[in-house]
Structure 1
Amino acid sequence: MSNSPMITDRALVDKIISGDMQAFKLLIKQNERLVAHMVSRLVDNPEDREELCQDVFLKVYQKLSGFNFQSKLSTWIATIAYRHSVNYLKKKKIPIEGDIEQEEFQSRTHFVVHENPENLFSNKDLKDFMVQMVDKLPVQYKTVVTLFHLEGMKLPEIEQVTELPVNTIKSHLFRARKLLKEKLKLYLVKEELL
């Protein structure tokens, strides 16, 4: 634990509501990665992502007095980020639902990463490759994968954020993992041939 005193979510919210802008800056700092993950998993355009992230924190600030601590503050913020991004997609008429089959995923991810064989299995290369593959998944899949694996949320928290039933979330995770596993196998086979 660091030398600086930890501030509880409740104390942080109270300070922000009473007008402490430094506390709000701290809230942003603590949650900017989460919000960026949520927005980037749904929205492709980098300029729109940046604007949406700013809008999310503006909404958080505006609605903070109504936060009732029925969930973690981070879960509540992720919910706002998710819903704001979904509303953006609906407004732009960009589809957010839909399953994807193995063949379609393969066609979306047809590129081969050419690396030096000695660097082939480095953790960074593999991690970069997997991040690229997650980005190719359908919106709902990459959202639940991000929340579960990158943000460490539990299924009930993901249910709250996405308003998807737990069984649907489990199904999305299962299908996404299956697609990613198959793509990883192909990647490793192709890379061994280089």
Structure 2
Amino acid sequence: MTIKKDQLLIDQILGGDKQLFSVLVDRYKNLVFTLCLRLLKNREEAEEVAQDSFVKIYKSLSKFKGEAKFSTWVYRVTYNNCLDFIKARKRKFQELSVDAYDDFEIEDLDSAINNLEENERKKAILGCINMLNEDDAFLLTLHYYEDQSVKDIAEIMKLSVANVKVKLYRSRKQLAFILKRRLSNDMLLNYGK
């Protein structure tokens, strides 16, 4: 239903009713900001890039062909805009080495996480996602928090479905490493109390 509503709004905006763009902004502002925040890891920069993303979406609205969902197109524009911003500031993020961890340790970690209370688990996972590099954080956010399919993520990131699956696996592995390290540190701190 939203797909048809989006297309109707787009047609009306392109037909001259430019005020209706605010409806699209209201509909997608939270997801655009969330994706920017995941990639940029800085609230002020995320707000700036989210605003800029909507300017780009507005200016290129006539290029939307309807071949994919409008939300997928919005993700793609936002993602590319974030990448451009990152390239411009030339900031490099540290990558963690996770080669020493196997699938069994990841499964053990999943069991340990399931024992945490829901709010603590969400906070821990979001905090750890923010420690990942921007692509991995973006990918996991799309998949788990925005419920995007692997196919939609492939369209957004301009990757093959197989490549997205591999990246998801590696991102989960890195997240497991970070969570395991954080849980171990928390347990040691709590043990002394």
Residue matched to 1:184:
179
The whole-number CA distance in structure 1 between the counterparts of 2:178 and 2:29 is 30
After superposition, residues 103-182 of structure 1 pair within 5 angstroms as 121-182=116-177
For 1:157 and 1:43, the matched residues in 2 are separated by 21
Aligned to 1:82: 79
| 8 Å contact from structure 1 (residues 100, 138) kept in 2 | no
**How far apart in 2 are the matches of 1:34 and 1:136?**
20
How big is the shift at 1:167?
2.3
> 4+ residue stretches of structure 1 with deviation over 4 A?
none
The alignment-based identity, stated in percent, is 28
State the number of aligned residues. 175
Q: CA deviation at 1:81?
A: 0.3
Task: Give the 5 Å matches for 1:7-86.
Answer: 8-86=5-83
Question: What displacement does 1:93 show?
Answer: 1.4
Distance in 2, matches of 1:184 and 1:84, equals: 29
Mapped to 1, the partners of 2:25 and 2:155 lie a distance apart of 21
Higher helix share: 2
Cα distance between partner residues in 2 of 1:125 and 1:135: 15
Q: Give, in angstroms, the shift of residue 165 of structure 1.
A: 2.6
For the residues of structure 1 that align with 2:63 and 2:49, how far apart are their CA atoms?
A: 21
For residue 65 of structure 1, report the CA deviation from its aligned partner: 1.4
In structure 2, C-alpha distance between the alignment counterparts of 1:171 and 1:99, rounded to whole Å? 17
Which TM-score applies when normalising by structure 2?
A: 0.79
Gaps of 5+ in 2: 100-114
Query: CA RMSD for the aligned pairs?
Result: 2.8
Unaligned runs of 5+ in 1: 104-119
